[in-house]
Amino acid sequence: MSETSNHIFDRFGRKHDYLRISLTERCNLRCFYCMPEEGVQLRDKAEFMTPDELLSIAKTFVDLGVKKIRLTGGEPLIKKDAELIIRELGKLPVELSITTNAVIVDRFIDVFKEAGIKAVNVSLDSLEEDSFNAISRRNYFKEIKDNIQLLLENDFKVKINVVVIRDVNDHEINDFVRWSKTENVHIRFIEFMPFDGNSWKSEKTISFKEILDQVNSEFGVNGYAKLQGEPNDTSRNFELKNGAGTFGIISSITNPFCDSCNRIRLTADGKIKNCLFSEDESDLLSLYRNGEDIEPIIRKVFMLKQKERGGLAAFSNEDVAGHKNRNMTSIGG
Q: Which of 271, 329, 330, 331 binds ligand SF4 (CB under 6 A)?
A: 329
Q: Among 67-75, 139-147, 176-184, 312-320, which window interacts with ligand SAM (CB under 6 A)?
A: 67-75
Shortest Cβ 63–ligand SF4 spacing (Å): 29
Query: Residue 266 and residue 167: Cα distance in Å, rounded?
Result: 33
By a kind-dependent CB cut-off of 5 to 8 A, residue 193 interacts, out of ligand SAM, ligand SF4, none, with ligand SAM
Q: Which of 142, 94, 101, 149 is nearest to 121 (CA)?
A: 101
Query: Residue 75 and residue 29: Cα distance in Å, rounded?
Result: 8
72 near ligand SAM, rule: CB under 6 A: yes
Task: Give the number of other Cβ atoms within 10 Å of residue 171's Cβ.
Answer: 12
Q: Which of 17, 20, 21, 33 binds ligand SAM (CB under 6 A)?
A: 33
Shortest Cβ 221–ligand SAM spacing (Å): 27
Footprint of ligand SAM on 112-171 (CB under 6 A) = 123, 161, 163
Q: Which of 19, 23, 29, 148 binds ligand SF4 (CB under 6 A)?
A: 29
101 near ligand SAM, rule: CB under 6 A: yes
Closer by beta carbon to ligand SAM, 64 or else 333: 333
75 near ligand SAM, rule: CB under 6 A: yes
Per-residue contact track with ligand SAM, 292 to 331, x per CB under 6 A? Answer: ------------------------------------xx--
Burial 174-210 (b: 16+ CB within 10 A, else e): eebbbbbbebebbbbbbbbbbbeebebebebbbbbeb
By a kind-dependent CB cut-off of 5 to 8 A, residue 18 interacts, out of ligand SF4, ligand SAM, none, with none
Kindly tell me the burial class for residue 130, based on how many C-beta atoms sit within 10 Å of its own C-beta (0-12, 13-18, 19 or more).
Answer: exposed
Amino acid at 202: S
Per-residue contact track with ligand SAM, 168 to 197, x per CB under 6 A? Answer: ----------------------x-xx-x--
Cα end-to-end span (Å), the chain:
33
Sign of the C-alpha dihedral computed for residues 267, 273, 276 and 278 taken in this order = negative
Contact 180, 249 (CB under 8 A): no
Per-residue contact track with ligand SF4, 135 to 174, x per CB under 6 A? Answer: -x--------------------------------------
Q: CB under 8 Å to 222, separation ≥6 — which residues?
A: none
By a kind-dependent CB cut-off of 5 to 8 A, residue 30 interacts, out of ligand SAM, ligand SF4, none, with ligand SF4
Shortest Cβ 292–ligand SF4 spacing (Å): 31
Query: Residue 33 and residue 36: Cα distance in Å, rounded?
Result: 8
Q: Which of 22, 97, 121, 123 binds ligand SF4 (CB under 6 A)?
A: 123
Closer by beta carbon to ligand SF4, 198 or else 235: 198
Query: Residue 170 and residue 165: Cα distance in Å, rounded?
Result: 6
Contact 333, 31 (CB under 8 A): no
Contact 94, 62 (CB under 8 A): yes
By a kind-dependent CB cut-off of 5 to 8 A, residue 97 interacts, out of ligand SF4, ligand SAM, none, with none
Residue 255 — φ and ψ, nearest 5°? -155, 70
By a kind-dependent CB cut-off of 5 to 8 A, residue 198 interacts, out of ligand SAM, ligand SF4, none, with ligand SAM
Which helix (H) or strand (E) element contains residue 168?
A: none
- The footprint of ligand SAM (CB under 6 A) covers 27, 33-34, 72-73, 75, 99-101, 123, 161, 163, 190, 192-193, 195, 198, 328-329, 333
